């Protein structure tokens, strides 16, 4: 399984004004129906080829552009690590693929920008939360959503307490080799377990936790999602006292989490946070209804798309299955809508509004039409 983050979104949105191919498809769990999945990808590539011909590319150019995607069919290691869906993005000089824990419908879009909307449930709405699975033997940061959870690789994150105590950040032997210095009036005795194994004292745990907190600052920068602590009960208050993350959840998962899989951690933590996530979406919908008719909301794409581009949208609901094609001119703010996509020029306006809202730190709810007050899109404006 691969992560898809806001940084990936920003990177993909830099590809503009040249043919961009976006391919989405469902996949089977690893070890099952691999041949069916590779055949499905080949069929979708054929659709992409036709779309690129409509954009004026020559056959030789198309073959070269799509070659990395074709090679996936023969990459056995790639298909052994499938998840529920596959998204592929390819343009001149750039190609990316994401195996995601999200069932995706078959879709091919060839446009002057990448189509992102099917992946918005991975980053869009305020239904994300984090879990810090914490122990002396293992540390993991995981990101969860209603449909699943995956580990986030964090540079510089201590792997375990023993490793951290053996060497400090400069590679020097550290506290594992000496008793901690005593403070006035306090004992400096080293605590031992039966058999001579040394039990870490609170000061050493605090140093370990400070190193963990420092490593998490960059990946959690600008995040507002709740962070659930998971671990044996006596460790969590020590970490909570040290943590610099502003959105630590009151909810905690007690017990040894070292051997819990991502699926098990999700099944135990999602019930702790589910009500909070549902409340956030309901509150956003209620705010739209309360402000409707005041000028602070809209269900008109001709107003929503320019507002998203200007960073004026606080929250946006879009129909995840709908498509609305047209052209947006950033210079004038004008939006033209079309009944069908025009090759070489049109944007999918719902996707464009959602991406721009996310890039300006608004909340996006890509949901079914029945969950939207006035489908296919409604917005609450910041101003």
Average pLDDT by stretches of 10, the chain with 383 residues: 80 81 88 76 96 93 95 82 90 91 91 92 78 96 88 93 72 42 39 47 91 95 89 96 95 96 95 86 94 96 97 96 93 93 84 94 91 96 96
The last residue of a domain, from among 49, 80, 115: 115
* C-alpha to C-alpha distance for 67 and 177, rounded to whole angstroms: 55
Task: Say if residue 149 is in the same domain as residue 264.
Answer: yes
Q: Are residues 190 and 303 in the same domain?
A: no
> What total of structural domains would you count in the chain?
3
Q: Let me know whether 97 and 73 are in one domain.
A: yes
pLDDT digits (tens, 9 = 90+) for 20-61: 999 999 998 665 556 789 899 999 999 999 999 999 999 999
Query: Residues 71, 104: one domain?
Result: yes
**CA gap 116, 100 in Å, rounded:** 13
Which of 250, 278, 306 delimits the end of a domain? 278
Asked whether residue 153 falls in the same domain as residue 95, the answer is no
Residues 270, 304, single domain; the answer is no
Last residue of a domain, one of 83, 115, 147: 115
pLDDT of residue 32: 57
Tokens of 208: 């370990």
Give domain status of residue 174, yes or no.
yes
User: CA angle 55-24-89, nearest 5°?
Assistant: 55
301: domain range?
Answer: 292-381
Most distant CA atoms of the chain, gap in Å? 82
Give the per-residue pLDDT at 30: 60
* CA 61 vs CA 89, 111, 116: distances in Å: 16, 16, 24
Residues 135 and 273 in one domain: yes
Residues 182, 218 share a domain: yes
368, part of any domain? yes
Please indicate, yes or no, whether residues 134 and 268 belong to a single structural domain of this protein.
yes
Domain shared by 377 and 301, yes or no? yes
137 and 274 share one domain: yes
Task: Identify the pLDDT of residue 4.
Answer: 84
pTM for this prediction: 0.72
């Amino acid at each position: 399984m691969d992560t898809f983050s806001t940084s990936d979104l920003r990177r993909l949105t830099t590809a503009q004004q040249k043919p961009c191919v976006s391919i989405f498809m469902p996949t089977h769990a690893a070890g099952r129906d691999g041949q069916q999945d590779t055949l499905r990808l080949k069929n979708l590539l054929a659709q992409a080829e036709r779309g690129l011909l409509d954009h004026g590319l020559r056959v030789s150019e198309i073959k070269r552009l799509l070659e990395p995607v074709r090679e996936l069919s023969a990459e056995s290691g790639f298909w052994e690590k499938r998840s529920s869906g596959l998204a592929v993005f390819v343009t001149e000089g750039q190609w990316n693929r994401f195996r995601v824990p999200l069932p995706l419908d078959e879709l091919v879009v060839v446009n002057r920008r990448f189509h992102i909307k099917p992946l918005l449930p991975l980053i869009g709405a305020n239904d994300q939360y984090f879990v810090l699975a914490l122990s002396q033997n293992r540390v993991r940061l995981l990101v969860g959503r209603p449909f699943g959870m995956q580990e986030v690789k964090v540079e510089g994150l201590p792997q375990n307490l023993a490793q951290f105590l053996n060497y400090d950040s400069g590679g020097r032997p550290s506290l594992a080799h000496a008793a901690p210095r005593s403070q006035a009036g306090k004992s400096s005795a080293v605590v031992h377990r039966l058999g001579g194994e040394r039990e870490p004292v609170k000061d050493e745990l605090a140093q370990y936790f400070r190193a963990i907190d420092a490593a998490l600052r960059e990946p959690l920068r600008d995040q507002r999602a709740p962070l659930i602590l998971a671990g044996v009960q006596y460790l969590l208050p020590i970490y909570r006292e040290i943590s610099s993350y502003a959105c630590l959840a009151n909810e905690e998962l007690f017990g040894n989490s070292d051997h819990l899989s991502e699926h098990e951690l999700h099944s135990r933590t999602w019930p702790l946070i589910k009500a909070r996530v549902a409340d956030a979406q309901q509150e956003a919908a209620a705010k739209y209804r309360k402000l409707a008719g005041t000028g602070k909301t809209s269900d008109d794409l001709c107003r929503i798309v320019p507002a998203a581009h200007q960073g004026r949208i606080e929250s946006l609901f879009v129909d995840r299955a709908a498509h609305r094609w047209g052209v947006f001119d950033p210079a004038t703010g004008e939006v033209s809508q079309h009944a069908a996509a025009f090759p070489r020029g049109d944007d999918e306006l719902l996707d464009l509004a959602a991406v721009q809202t996310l890039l300006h730190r608004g909340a996006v709810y890509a949901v079914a039409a029945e969950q939207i007050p006035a489908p296919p899109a409604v917005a609450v404006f910041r101003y």
